[in-house]
Amino acid sequence: MNLTIDQIRGLFPVLHQEVHGKPLIYFDNAATTQKPKAVLDKLRSYYELDNSNIHRGAHTLADRATREYEQVRETVQNFIGAQESAEIIFTKGTTESINLVAQSFGRKFIEQGDEIIISTMEHHSNIVPWQMLCEEKGAILKIIPITDSGEIIFEEFERLLSTKTKLVSVVHASNALGTINPVKSIIEAAHRYGAKVLLDGAQSTSHLEINVVDLDCDFLAFSAHKLYGPTGLGILYGKRELLEAMPPFLGGGEMIKEVSFEKTTFNDIPFKFEAGTPNIADVIAFKPALDFITGLGKKSIKAHEDELLSYANDLLLPIKGVEPIGTAKEKVSVFSFIIKGMHPFDIGQMLDARGIAVRTGHHCTQPLMQRFGIEGTVRASFSVYNSKTEIETWAEAVARIAKIKNK
């Protein structure tokens, strides 16, 4: 990275505060990342200077807002290596993106007796929509098992595949464990049986280089707020031929070409899937977030985060009572753990009293927690603005908390 850690931290106003009289240490980045000042400034400038509805206006403000809005679609296209901006659909989050595929692709192409495959480590947003679809259609949901270290058992996945498999929907990187799944191999195997593949990229897009053409995934879903951008904005990438074959998800304005009481003609992609007034300000403010990532470089970001994760392992694993959950060889910067005999929520509160923000609970992955026989974990997730000094302070706090139990 060309910038020092102090320079990077200087770009994020929220980091410069105290919590309970202690300097804030923000280790809840897998839930949401903080926002650089450029994002906050863009939100403010849109509402102060360009606030207008887009696409249909003939006046200057509408034209400026429309151009900025559509420029972000092109920025996202380049960010994930899509072939064209029309393959980029704006939603309100990863959850809505997955539901869009379930409701549109699923209702049209999934039939009774068809099979959908997901993994044991999925977020609820990549479980529940498929359960609902399977119940409605009479389809079958199959689950890829995982090892004790939190890695997909690939041979078992291959055994699940058949000509009945119509869709494989898997997380690229686990929000609860940090595991990076072998998605390219998963996609290749699924395509041999004619199945389509959706990747949940909510956690991977901020850490890993992603090129959807190289991966050959059929769909990719992710959220802006985990990429230093605003909340309430998601992305769905889909291959053109699939999006064109899918029916609209919502009906209303913008997603139509012509409406009469006898018949409605739907708009071209991506507008066919973007009914109503969109989340204009947050889309426009997403561009400086993506520019921030591109400016630093994904490789530099990942190298820094990998270093933090390695340091966390060095300091936390020797602490008596600390048990890591998820020890895959390939991980993003997530350290999930329990302290034997202590509830994760209690640990989280004791860390918060020291100004350290972590996430506790099942992380919307209850089936995964059941696989490990636990209620939940304490999850620390690191980002580009975190430092080794913060890791040291956190490790010292965990050691003191663990001593309370071991007395």
Residues 290 and 309 in one domain: no
What percentage of the chain's residues is helix, strand, coil (to nearest 5)? 45, 20, 40
CATH of the domain at 330: 3.90.1150.10
Looking at beta carbons, which pairs linking 129-135 to residues 24 or more positions away fall under 8 Å?
129/98, 129/99, 129/101, 129/102, 129/103, 130/102, 130/106, 130/167, 130/169, 132/102, 133/102, 133/103, 133/106, 133/107
pLDDT in tens, 5-31: 999 999 999 999 999 999 999 999 999
Low-confidence ranges of the chain (pLDDT < 50): none
Residue 163 lies in a domain: yes
Same domain flag for 336 and 367: yes
pLDDT on residue 260: 59
Asked if 358 and 336 count as a contact pair (C-beta separation under 8 A), the reply is no
Residue 258 has a CB neighbour count (10 Å cut-off) of 9
Beta-bridge mates of residue 222: 235
Question: Which residues, including other chains, have CB under 8 Å from residue 233's CB and lie 6 or more apart?
Answer: 90, 91, 92, 93, 223, 224, 225, 279, 282, 283, 286
| Same-domain check for residues 196 and 54 | yes
Strands annotated E in 145-245: 165-171, 196-200, 219-223, 234-238
Is the separation of the CB atoms in 110 and 133 below 8 Å? Answer: yes
Q: Each residue of 269-283: pLDDT tens digit?
A: 788 898 888 999 999
Domain boundary among 269, 294, 319: 294
For residue 56, what pLDDT is reported? Answer: 77
Residue 35 lies in a domain: no
- Residues 286 and 171 placed together within one structural domain of the fold: yes
Same domain, 11 and 88: no
- For tokens 């020797």, the residue is 318
381 found inside a domain: yes
Contact by Cβ (8 Å): 360, 344 = yes
For residue 73, give the nearest of 241, 231, 269, 213 by alpha carbon.
269
The pLDDT, as a whole number, for residue 262 is 64
Catalytic one among 364, 369, 374, 399? Answer: 364
Segments forming the whole domain that contains residue 14: 5-30+297-406
| Within a domain: 324 | yes
- End of a domain among 294, 310, 345? 294
pTM above 0.85, yes or no: yes
Same domain, 60 and 79: yes
- Note whether 248 and 315 are same-domain residues: no
Q: Which among 401, 387, 381 is positioned nearest to 33, based on CA atoms?
A: 381
pLDDT, residue 2, reads 79
Domain boundary among 237, 264, 294: 294
E strand or H helix at 184, and its extent?
A: helix 183-192
Same structural domain, 178 and 253: yes
Q: Are residues 136 and 273 in the same domain?
A: yes
Does 360 map to a domain?
yes
Asked if 248 and 272 count as a contact pair (C-beta separation under 8 A), the reply is: yes
| Residue 143 belongs to domain with CATH number | 3.40.640.10
**What confidence score (pLDDT) does residue 249 get?**
85
Distance CA 226, CA 202 (A): 7
Cα 105 to Cα 246: distance, rounded to the nearest angstrom: 6
Residue at 84 is within a domain: yes
The domain tally of the chain equals 2
Backbone angles phi, psi at 142, to 5 degrees: -115, 150
Q: Residue 19 — φ and ψ, nearest 5°?
A: -125, 120
**Do 251 and 335 fall into the same domain?**
no
Tens-digit pLDDT profile for residues 183-231: 999 999 999 999 999 999 999 999 999 999 999 999 999 999 999 999 9
223 and 328 inside one domain: no
Rounded Cα gap, residues 143 and 157, in angstroms: 8
C-alpha distances (whole Å) from 276 to each of 56, 130, 250 are: 12, 26, 9
pLDDT of 407 reads 59
Q: Specify whether 217 is catalytic.
A: no
Q: Are 219 and 117 in a shared domain?
A: yes
**Strand ranges (DSSP E) for 11-133?**
18-19, 22-23, 25-26, 88-91, 115-119
